[in-house]
A = this chain, B = another copy of it.
């Protein structure tokens, strides 16, 4: 396996390949070239000072007669945990808030409209340990926990302040934030007995597929401190316990920037998750993840990208970075000795488009912000060329699948 310090596929190819070959290799690997965004110098300076990578690309679409371009800028954030996993819980959360705030400020300078953080971004990815304490303490109230407040107020203000001066001229920002949610007894969670819940053994036990849950209380409107215009911070917090699957189906959220959905982490392995979000009209599907090299690095460039192609939509794949050390040894069910870290989270966040093009990945090793400008018109344009929505035999699949889930299903096998 590549050592952590091996920076990225792109960097390696750019270093060694002659220009004509590089162009061909990139075309084969990444499809039609995405235009590099001209990002503000202030943003580039802040990223350098803050020691995180900043890249920007634009996906373009053909001009149409009746529709103007529908551009939206998304921001994908990948990061290490700034404090060791052994530090006090509150300090870790607060350090993560500060780190993300610095990155979000740069996103704001870049005119980002929708920003998405990595899976379980307010904590180490401690679920691999299968321990409960202190990890369950990272779960927060989705109504008014510190992270919900963080997403609603200072963060949204930072973004809208700068975004109003950006190219896009739209001061509002959507925040896609995935954290553990504190369950309330009798509060409507499917497993109220769980008390405070966090996520984790799901990877081992499957049946995660946590679904996005937006509580009404999280939509707040407040006057913009400078312009007086309305801003709206929408914090998405997920219903999530160790064992419970979601029961909300595949909802899509209509925002002012387009229809978005969130397919969390392991959910990316199931093409039918992406598909159902697409059936419900998603233009952009975010996939906040946490996954390591030994497990999944060669699948990473395939799954979200296939979903963008198959569903005529954009997908945003986000992975965390670095190695996280835990106080107690644990095993990973892979026949190897007990260890104190899960492995190396390889970053490599990217955006994929319906025309099978994609951005390069962020680094395998550094914190980073990937800004991508999407022209959502591309979704319908590609649909008009390839017609997957028209040609899908959905009635047949529905019938076959309904049969296949019956306990007495006999697979359709033709024997010699």
Q: Is the CB of A2 within 8 A of B16?
A: no
In the complex the two chains form, what is the Cα distance from A16 to B388 in whole Å?
A: 38
Shortest A15–chain B CB gap in Å is 8
Q: Which of B21, B245, B255, B386 contacts A12 (CB 8 A)?
A: B21
Q: Which listed residue (B270, B298, B305, B401) contacts A401, Cβ 8 A?
A: B401
In the assembly, what is the distance between CA of A21 and CA of B14, in Å? 12
B12 & A17 in contact (Cβ 8 Å cutoff) = yes
A254 touches which one: B219, B276, B413 (CB < 8 A)? B413
Check A412–B252 contact: CB distance below 8 A. yes
* Cβ-defined contact, B396 with A249, below 8 A: yes
Q: What residues of chain B lie closer than 8 Å to A275, measured between beta carbons?
A: 271-272
Chain-B contact segment, one of A23-31, A68-76, A88-96, A105-113:
A23-31
- Pairwise interchain contact A400-B12, C-beta atoms closer than 8 A: no
Chain A 303-320 per-residue mask, 1 if CB under 8 angstroms from chain B, else 0: 101100110000000000
In the complex with contacts A272-B392, A412-B251, A9-B31 CB distance below 8 A? no
Q: Is A414 close to B, CB under 8 A?
A: yes
A326 CB-CB contact with B under 8 Å: no
Enumerate chain B residues within 8 angstroms of A297, measured Cβ to Cβ.
Answer: 27-28
In whole Å, how far is A182's beta carbon from the nearest beta carbon of chain B?
22
Contact A298 B27 (CB under 8 A): yes
Does A42 lie at the interface of the complex (its beta carbon under 8 Å from any beta carbon of B)? no
A residues engaging B (CB < 8 A)?
A: 1-2, 6, 9, 12-13, 16-18, 21, 24-25, 27-32, 206-209, 214, 219, 232, 234, 245, 249-256, 259, 266, 269-272, 275-276, 279-281, 296-299, 301-303, 305-306, 309-310, 334, 356-357, 385-388, 390-398, 400-402, 404-405, 411-416
